[in-house]
Amino acid sequence: MHKIGLIDYGMGNIHSVTKSLESLGEEIQLINNFNESKDCKAIILPGVGSFDPAMINLINSNLITDLINWINSGKSFLGICLGLQLLFESSDEGKVEGLGVLKGKIQKIPNIVNQRIPHMGWCQLLPKKINTLVELEELNNWVYFVHSYHAIPDDLNIIAAQVNYGSEKITAIIENDNLLACQFHPEKSGKTGQKLLKRWISNIQ
C-alpha cells in the first residue's frame, strides 16, 4: 500500500478518484499544501472544468512551485483530464499561462463532420510506444472521455497513446519519465480504468 497525495484545489473529481484508489487498497491524502505530502509516494492532479479557473485556483492555493518541484524531482506523478492540460504552457481555452512543465499547447478539438464537441464517451486507446499503462498489442482498452480541448506537445515522442476522432487522432496519454497524464477519466472507466490505475500504482517507487 502507498500513500498517494491528491491535489485538492477545487477543480477535481476528488470523491470518485479517492474511491477508485481506495478500492485498490491505497491510502489517500488530500493536499491543500505540500506540508501534507511528506509521506506520499505519488501525487495526482485531477481536473474537471476550464483551464483559467483551474490555474487561478492553483495560484491562489500557493501550490504551483511545490507541484513543479515535485514533478522535477523525479517522484511519481499522474495528471487526469484537465490535470493533463494544465501541465502545458498555454491553452486556447483561456489566457492564463499553464504550469509549463511540458512544452506545447492545448488546442480546441478540430471540427470534423459527424463528430461532436465536446468529445464525450467511450473510445479505445491506441498505444504509440511502450508505456506504463497500455501494452502495445493489448486490445479492448475502452476508456471514458469528456473534453473539448486536446494536447499538442512540441515533443511528439511523449505521446504514449491516442484515440481516433473521426479522421484525426488526439492525445490520450502523455508519459515523460516520472510524469504520466491521461486525457480520459480512469476513475470513470470501469474495470479498464481500475486496471490502468493498478498498473500506475505498481510502478510507484
Residues with catalytic roles: 81, 185, 187
Contacts of the segment 126-129: beta carbons below 8 A, 24+ positions apart: 126/161, 126/162, 126/163, 126/164, 126/169, 126/172, 127/160, 127/161, 127/173, 128/159, 128/160, 128/161, 128/162, 129/157, 129/159, 129/160
Q: Which helix (H) or strand (E) holds 194?
A: helix 190-202
Give the number of other CB atoms < 10 A from CB of residue 169. Answer: 15
Q: How far from chain centre, in Å, is Cα 166? A: 23
Give the number of other CB atoms < 10 A from CB of residue 116. Answer: 10
Compute the distance between CA of residue 171 and CA of residue 76 in angstroms, rounded to an integer.
Answer: 21
